[in-house]
Structure 1
Amino acid sequence: MRYLIAETSWKMVSLAKAVSDCGTLVTHCEAGDAIEDFHKIGEHDLVALDASQLLRGTSLCRLRELHPDTPIVLIARDPVPEQIAAWLMAGADTVIDEAAALPEMIAQIDCVARRAQGIARPLLECGPLTFDLEARRVHLGDVTLSLSPKLYEILEYLVLRPGRLASREALLSHVYGFENEPAPRVFDVYMCNLRSHLSGIAGTVRIATVRGAGYRLDVQDPSRSNNPLAA
């Protein structure tokens, strides 16, 4: 997943670093007045910002209008119940006290992001594959696939959107954010390597190329096949 975090205080900087250290992709926004522009341009699985930014031009309503389905987390200093209720009604998904320890904050943020995808727990079944979203690992039975971070990020993006078309641009934006993207040939190599890891279960899970449009993860119900693990 990729989170957009407005690093407008030391607490938010620390949070962004801790999230990144866990392996989650982070889009760093260092200016509060740019958070709406970052949110408008990129596709993120969650937005986190300091509640004080709401007094400086950023609007929960505007953030919600730009991407209605993207969860919004507010980090606030000593929030009172009435203010929390007002923020929730205005579009925030949850409010976290900035005094909370970083592991607790990350756990809350991850839960909000997962549940926005309809995932109750950090374990996700995809055909014969099991995704541990917290550990960022993919298991096939008792075997853990040896995926590089980039390959995991591409596969996770597709798995969270099964059957939906993902353009090359969307995948590159997710993996690299606003950083320098690789040459097209490098991305082709990534996809080739990822398909190689999935070759043994191509009968149930495969990445289909839609010429001129992008990629789609096709997952077949094993109960409909006599040999669901056939290559």
Structure 2
Amino acid sequence: MKLLIVEDETAIRQQLIDFFSAQKFVLDSAADGIEGSYYATEFDYDLAIIDIGLPGIDGIEVIKRLRAANRKYPVLVLTARGHWQDKVNGLEAGADDYLVKPFHSEELRARVNALIRRSAGHSTPQLRFGPIAIDTSSKRVSLNDTEVELTSFEYNTLEYLVLHAGEAISKTVLTEHLYNQDYERDSNVIEVFIGRLRKKLDPDGSLSPIRTVRGLGYRFALTVNETLPS
């Protein structure tokens, strides 16, 4: 998943970068509202974390600009303790949730995962597609109630496709949302991951959960609670 972090306090910004990088998120970051507004309006993300008190332009204005640019990804506002009006202003500007500083990293992670999941239309982290079950909280996948061992890259690829089920996702979009800028973008590694996922999730070829859309990319073809035909 691809996150935007807009935070002017160096220590907090680095804390966020280190924390989410360790969880294999792709990150862009900015230290002021002007640069943050540029990223927020020009690029697409799975979620943005935006501080309210930013130099240049404040976080409220950044949120207003990204919504005016028709960017629909979720926004989590960071705000100082006790500034209740900041929370209200942030939500009214178009934010989806807020977190008060200082915060616990695990609470932040849970809120981020919940926002991303809900933006895809899922109210629970436990998703089932016939014999395939995916827990987006624990990052575990099972087939017929037996856990499937996936690498972090394989899981991230699957999760992105699942959270965009029914959509044709190109290899370029997958790369941009799942892998860092220094990733070897000219390789065919996405095809390799897709091939591995198909073998692990559909060993007998009866389900076809990930389908190739000629000229467009890949599509996760199942829907939540879909069951196999008898």
Q: What is the TM-score of this pair, normalised by structure 1?
A: 0.85
The answer (yes or no) to whether the contact 2:117–2:163 under 8 Å persists in 1 is no
Q: Write the distance in 1 (CA, Å) between the matches of 2:102 and 2:170.
A: 40
Aligned partner of 2:134: which letter?
F
Of 180, 183, 188, which aligns to 1:180?
183
Is 1:139 aligned with 2:142?
yes
Aligned partner of 2:3: which letter?
Y
Q: Write the distance in 1 (CA, Å) between the matches of 2:101 and 2:64.
A: 22
SS in 1 for 2:155: helix
SS in 2 for 1:172: helix
| Equivalences for residues 29-178 of structure 1 within 5 A | 29-32=29-32, 33-53=34-54, 56=57, 59-178=62-181
- For residue 48 of structure 1, report the CA deviation from its aligned partner: 0.2
How many positions carry a matched residue from both structures? 224
Q: Deviation per CA, 1:16-58, whole angstroms, max 9, x where unpaired?
A: 322333x251313143332233334443221002111275265
Aligned partner of 1:2: which letter?
K
CA separation of 1:24 and 1:133: change in aligned 2, threshold 3 A: farther
Of 211, 219, 222, which aligns to 2:227?
222
SS in 1 for 2:203: helix
Q: Counterpart of 1:198?
A: 201
SS in 2 for 1:52: coil
- For residue 177 of structure 1, report the CA deviation from its aligned partner: 4.3
CA separation of 1:222 and 1:126: change in aligned 2, threshold 3 A: closer
Aligned residues: percent identity? 27
Structure 2, unmatched stretches of 5+, are none
Q: Write the distance in 1 (CA, Å) between the matches of 2:154 and 2:161.
A: 11
Q: What is the TM-score of this pair, normalised by structure 2?
A: 0.85
SS in 2 for 1:113: helix
Aligned partner of 2:45: which letter?
H
CA RMSD of aligned residues (A): 2.3
Q: Write the distance in 2 (CA, Å) between the matches of 1:121 and 1:222.
A: 18
Q: Counterpart of 1:229?
A: none
The answer (yes or no) to whether the contact 2:41–2:71 under 8 Å persists in 1 is no
